[in-house]
Amino acid sequence: MKLVYSPASPFVRKVAVVLHETGQIDDVDLLPVKTTPVSTPPEVLSANPVGKIPALVRGDGPAIYDSRVICQFLNDRAGGGLYPDTARWEVMTLEATADGILDAAVLMVYETRVRPAHMVYDDWVEAQWDKASRAVKTVNDRWMAHLTGPLNIGQIAIACALGYLDFRHDGRNWRKGNDALDDWFAVFSQRDSMTATRPSD
């Protein structure tokens, strides 16, 4: 298998953490790419017509894409237990919440990196941050019980989302007023899978 990836992508990181945690990292060759919403390399398009990463190129079927699809595929392939039957919908909702944080946080980056400076819409950037920070606060206030216990995809996804906020939006200080989540992340981020996948430009 080949993983079309960028080391800066938080969605790729989620997949990479799953690969590490399920013992499949050596089963995948990494194909690094550089892509933006306005510049998509052909190797990405050949794997995903939407032009987004990550994409997983398989030897026995078409490439699959979207990090949530890839993570479920890898979990099933390894019998990883990351989607427990007893809390499947809660775990998947946490993953969706994390991906929502990332959608907003990535759009903030694109707004200043891709759009010409005179076209940057500051109110729109702040609206994206409001989405991300509101979701972080909700996890801190309502979901901490679901971040305990055996490893699951919700934990992985939330950790990758918080790691990306540190990576790209550290000055926003998501930790303020979210002490429980901050404490949890300080421990979870020391897992071998997290330290091995820290983002880089």
Phi-psi region of 176 (alpha: psi -120 to 50; beta: other; left: phi over 0): beta
- What is the separation of C-alpha 169 from the centre of its chain, rounded to a whole number of angstroms? 15
Q: Which amino acid is at 9?
A: S
Calpha distance 185→181 (Å, rounded): 6
Question: Could you tell me the domains of the chain?
Answer: 2-78 (3.40.30.10), 85-193 (1.20.1050.10)
Tens of each residue's pLDDT in the chain, 201 residues = 999 999 999 999 999 999 999 999 999 999 999 888 888 999 999 999 999 999 999 989 999 999 999 999 999 999 999 999 999 999 999 999 999 999 999 999 999 988 899 999 999 999 999 999 999 999 999 999 999 999 999 999 999 999 999 999 999 999 999 999 999 999 999 999 999 999 988
Q: How many CA atoms lie within 13 A of 169 on its CB side?
A: 27
Task: Please say whether the beta carbons of 25 and 82 come within 8 A.
Answer: no
The vertex-60 CA angle with 96 and 95, nearest 5°, equals: 10
